[in-house]
Chain A
Amino acid sequence: MFGFVLARLLRSLIVLFATVTFVFIVLRLSGDPAQQMLSDIATPEALAAFRTQWGLDRSIAEQYLLYLANAFQGNFGTSFADGREVFTVIGERVPKTLSVTVPAFLLTMLIGIPAGILAAVRRETAADKAVMAGAVVGYSIPNFLLGVALIYLFAVWLRVLPSSGSSTWQHAILPVATLVLAGAATISRFTRSTLIDVLGQPYIAAARADGIPEREIILRHALPNAAIPLVTMLGFGAGGMLGGAVFVETVFAWPGLGSGFVRAVNSGDLNVVQAMILTFTAFMVSINLTVDILYAALNPKIRLGNHDAS
């Protein structure tokens, strides 16, 4: 198990490194940040001065090596826009993003998993149909549309919730709700289909033939098996929350990583864009690592291999 974790950890580092390199090169090849930062009417002298100031006049290889050398010392540059350390800029935004995505993820599990279990156990009943109908709605409306619909319903029409900003906890309700509706729809559908699959397995029939009560069959025999694929799906869900945050934060003017990212891309603030992509990647990599470890922990076939234990 230890070697397994170590190997995954090493792989994660390689992913991070590859991302930095790829993003660096693509960003330098796709447009002129001086032109983007300064306005259209900037003089050629002003543009040249900007390029020299940020080292953009050197070759990409030179810029890349310099960037790496600094990065290894923990220096990821400063924002073109206001000259602050990029991680100061990002550091302000990470808690904002976590304050919508973490509650959204927890609620997604809290709603999606039990709803899926209910639908699977009460298959073909009204409860199942209600859950699946809700899931179809949540599943088929895109995040940004859902966000706009919620703003219209609760902020414009009913006037019970604020539509943009982040000053109070009420401001978080609509962004979280948007993420949860979409997330819980996916998770409940997946939980349902996985559990139905597990309930059809021969070892469940065997447990029934042994007279084990249905409740215990669900809790002790079926769910531990359904949890194995579900963990992978939850990993996708957590990753999807971060992606969703880009939309949702923009729609609700929520000052997190997502909206910050959109703004940095639009203004050509390369150092910030790079560091944000690195941050996103680091989140993704740690989610995957957690999923891999949980998957192995839950699954004896992975944890132990198939040699005779004796």
Chain B
Amino acid sequence: MSHLLAVRGLVVQAPARGLKIIDGIDLSLDRGETLGLVGESGCGKSMTCYAIAGALPRGIARTGGSITLQDDADGGTGSPAKPSVAMIFQDPTSSLNPVHTIGHYLESALYRHQGLRGNDARLEAMRLLERVGIDRAKSRLRAYPHQFSGGMNQRVMIAHALAAKPRLLIADEPTTALDVTTQAQILYLLEELRAETGMALLIVSHDLGVIARLADRAAVMYCGKIVETAPIGALLERPAHPYARALIDCMPTIDPDDLEPPTPIAGSVPLLDNLPAGCHFHPRCDRGGRDCVSAYPAPARIGPGHAASCYHPVRP
């Protein structure tokens, strides 16, 4: 069976400035699978999400590649329903319209996606709020986002996403703005809902810890390219790309015996309009050879489902 989501050679540009924000990435996601997308700030994680959701901001456009979503109704009779994608965001409170009530927000989504209106919509909205862990749902429908905490607003966004009955949920740094306890609760909720609904989950974070908790597979992004993809275990234990290894090295640990401070990656992320020739990571890399500056390395197979774009991958 084909993948639920297949992204091939995706290029996203800001045509006015001619910059390639996303430069030919490939991604795939199977039904019910969780893929983590990780990388430093500015590497293009959000733009990848927006491109897949078909909602790139104005002034930014997809200029190459393809994004295909395949529904289960493949080869069945009649026209297959458009497989839906829903998305949740980093800052839940500012991602909710301040002049709309929670009830309006959920009920209008239920109307749009499921054709529910009136009392049916209200009851379903209450059910969704309860499902994401918000009690006293009935009175909460009349509340505005500013009356809720960030964690509660993220739950509201998740309820809203569920209203679309998505085959794929994109979560763009869903917990970055939240405190650790709330973060853990939201991640748990996402995991639970994924298992319950069978949807696939694309979760973005610059925190490998979050990815490690949820994802089956992970893709590491650097400067608009995917430098390594691997099953999550393989990535954490045997990262092949020096950038992926460096990211793992800067994960803080809470092991009391580990007195070594996390090692930050030397240097800084290059600007999009001034990318180094060849491998974009080579100026920050300690393994560089002469070939690294010549051309961008093609992905090389490291193991099953594991590939890295590096001329000198780290071998265990």
Residues of A within 8 A of B (CB): 123, 201-203, 205-212, 221, 224-225, 228, 298-301, 304, 306-310
Contacts and interface: CB of A to CB of B under 8 A. Distances in A.
Interface stretch (B69-77, B95-103, B297-305): B95-103
Contacts of B114: none
Given A206-B87, A210-B109, A301-B98, A308 B53 contact: no
B89 interface: yes
Given A202-B89, A309-B139, A309-B140, A207 B164 contact: no
A309 B91 CA distance: 21
Contact of B139 (A123, A221, A301, A310): A310
Given A208-B55, A224-B99, A310-B136, 5 more contacts: A201-B94, A212-B112, A225-B99, A306-B146, A309-B140
A297 to B, nearest CB: 11
B147 A304 contact: yes
A209 B54 CA distance: 7
28 contacts: A123-B58, A201-B94, A202-B89, A202-B94, A203-B96, A205-B50, A205-B57, A206-B89, A206-B95, A206-B157, A208-B55, A209-B50, A209-B55, A210-B112, A221-B97, A224-B99, A299-B99, A300-B144, A300-B146, A301-B98, A301-B144, A306-B147, A308-B143, A308-B147, A309-B142, A309-B147, A310-B139, A310-B143
A107 B53 CA distance: 42
A188 B50 CA distance: 31
B148 interface: yes
A8 B100 CA distance: 26
Contacts of A207: 97
B4 interface: no
B199 interface: no
Contacts of B162: none
Interface in B124-151: 136, 139-140, 142-144, 146-148
Nearest to B138: A310
B86 interface: yes
B98 A300 contact: yes
B99 A308 contact: no
Contacts of B143: 308-310
In the A-B complex, list the 4 residue pairs whose CB atoms are closest, starting with the nearest.
A209-B55, A310-B139, A309-B143, A208-B55
B144 A309 contact: yes
A203 B140 contact: no
Interface string B51-68: 001110110000000000
Contacts of B54: 209, 211
B56 to A, nearest CB: 9
Nearest to B87: A209
A202 B99 contact: no
Contact of A304 (B95, B100, B144, B160): B144
Contacts of B99: 224-225, 228, 298-300
Given A210-B86, A210-B164, A202 B144 contact: no
A207 B86 CA distance: 11
Given A209-B50, A210-B109, A203 B94 contact: yes
Contact of A301 (B97, B109, B146): B146
